[in-house]
Amino acid sequence: MSSPQLEMRWNMKTGLKKCITALTLAILLTAGLMPGTKKTCSAATAPISGTSSVSGITDDFARGVDISALTALEKSGTEFHYLDGSNGDMFDILSGAGVNYVRIRIWNNPYDSSAPYKPYGAGNCDLYNAKILGKRATDAGMKVFIDFHYSDFWADPEKQFAPKAWADYSLAYKKDAVYNFTYDSLKELLDYGVNIGMVQIGNETNGSMCGVGGLYDGVWDLSSGVAALMQQGCYAVNDINALYGKSMLKVLHFTDLVERGEWYAECVDTLGVDYDVFSTSYYPMWHGTASDLTQKLTNIARNYNKKVMVAETAYPYTYENFDSQNNNIGDASGMVHANYAVSVSGQAEALHDVFAAVAKVNETKAGYGIGAFYWEPGWIATDSSTWGTCGSGWATSVTGNYEKLYSGSVTYYSTVDGGSTWDNMTLFDKNGNAMKSLYVFNDICGKSSITSSGIFNDGSMDGTYYIKSAYSGLYLDVADGSSADNANLQQNTYLGSSRQKFKLTKNDASYYYIFTGASGYSKALDIAGKKTTDGTNVVQYSYNGGQNQMFEIAPVSPGIYAIKTRITNSASCLDVFDWSQEPGGNIVQWNYWGGDCQHWILEAAY
């Protein structure tokens, strides 16, 4: 390109920027969004997770997570971070990603019966834990979904042990106990300020609950007492609703939807259980396709006039194990179905499709597909010393004592302190950093996310990142992955390779050197020729510590940064030339004027 042509493009660009700036100012004035007025934080318009929006997702559609183990994880020293590695409270991170509902399990008494009354672990999920987490969720603007197991520890299709205190109860006594525990717990939660929207009566109650039903008497159709216990829980919710003037939904929970879901819906209908929502556990690697999910839930909604949802889902992003505890899925042999890649992008796609499958129910029966919940997205591995002391693993050594009340051996619980069996199915990486899959919750709605708090340990952003244009959604990239001096910096589609990884290192003057993964982090971003003029190319060059290799990482809004150049005393910044939205678009130095083509999102990379 000749100099006159280049000068003409620069003049056009400068003129257009002035026009856009004036237009933006007018819009802001009209909307009342000038400094001093309220505005919302936003991130990239492009979906962070790489998934598309889903039609028919309304604001009240539950985009939820189960975070029951969070208190124990935090006591173990676990910290959680936004996508760029900045510090944040878990509820702020989740809310910024689009989560609007939190599910919390309650066990009656998850502690050993003998001194020193060691907790059972897996979050030590008693009523007090639910109050603390429920209030934090409420304060973050979320609704709460309470999950009563009516057990002192895990209840699922393999075991449904009654609480220790109810071990010798007859069915009549258990009915009273279920009612009273449900009523008293909900009252205490509401009085504490927890905004409860739904209440689950039993957990994965496929024929059994609270020591009653198929596992214990061979009667699987709920008629030997399970339905009666469910009804007592529903009565308690009804009475609390009347007392507080609320409309909490009553939820029943089953699993194995494809094989047994419709039969259990028929059973509770035949037995006259008065509930509102049929929910299911639905894990894509075990339970089938998204179309299976839609079909079965639609049939239940249509035939029994019940709202439907997924109470639990998850998908692995790796087969790697991050502690000494075996995971639920350790390799491909654990995958009954493999419709998605075992990767962060595969995890995002699987979650997206679960939401879409539930929303599709509304095409047949409007308003009846009400949401889905991702199970324990933050249950990453912790130090083994915390498994027993803090309850951050799946079970502690005393849980076997509880099982022995009902069995001669320990089959389902443990006699040793265990770790996380879930650390490869979380939405946070092993270091507690949010992964792209977390942002499906907003991406399905086409909403922008908050990806940063702007607060880093020791005030430093030192670390390795992918750097994404807030304008194009494309990533900073060393052309051809070259390790040579003067290799060009461009934008490109996400590749996840070293050519798109950049290591920020802060110097004593509080500027950053940006080392390139393409060079093995031996070379740095460089303003070519130490020029200060607009349009100067940005290249990779051997590290020399010069001012043309120093950058200010200037926060613009949460998760959004301008990368300003020291050589211009921060007057200029990295700029996507000509507002390109195409792979290969050039990166240049340009006078900072605040356009999106000058703004960047940092995503932690490991």
Catalytic residues: 204, 312
The three-state secondary structure class of 85 is coil
Q: Which residues pair with 604 in a beta bridge?
A: 465
Distance CA 5, CA 303 (A): 69
Closest-CA residue to 196 (of 245, 162, 258)? 245
Token duo for residue 350: 């699987």
Which 8-state DSSP code applies to residue 22? H
The three-state secondary structure class of 35 is coil
Contact 103, 472 (CB under 8 A): no
- The per-residue DSSP string of 174-193 comes to HHHHHHHHHHHHHHHHHHTT
Token duo for residue 45: 């318009």
H-run or E-run covering 399: helix 399-403
The three-state secondary structure class of 567 is helix
> What is the amino acid identity at position 259?
E
Which 8-state DSSP code applies to residue 248? P
Which 8-state DSSP code applies to residue 167? T
Q: SS3 letters for 321-365?
A: CCCCCCCCCCCHHHCCCCCCCCCHHHHHHHHHHHHHHHHHHHHCC
Token duo for residue 39: 């505005």
- Going by C-beta distance under 8 Å and a sequence separation of 6 or more, which residues neighbour residue 529? 536
Beta strand 587-591 with 572-576 is antiparallel
Distance CA 263, CA 595 (A): 57
Phi, psi of 371 (to 5 degrees): 145, -175
- Going by C-beta distance under 8 Å and a sequence separation of 6 or more, which residues neighbour residue 37? none
CA angle at 378 for the pair 375 and 384, rounded to the nearest 5°:
115
Number of neighbours of residue 332 by Cβ within 10 angstroms: 10
The three-state secondary structure class of 40 is coil
Distance CA 502, CA 538 (A): 14
Number of neighbours of residue 510 by Cβ within 10 angstroms: 11
- Going by C-beta distance under 8 Å and a sequence separation of 6 or more, which residues neighbour residue 63? 57, 98, 99, 100, 101, 355, 371, 372, 441, 444, 445
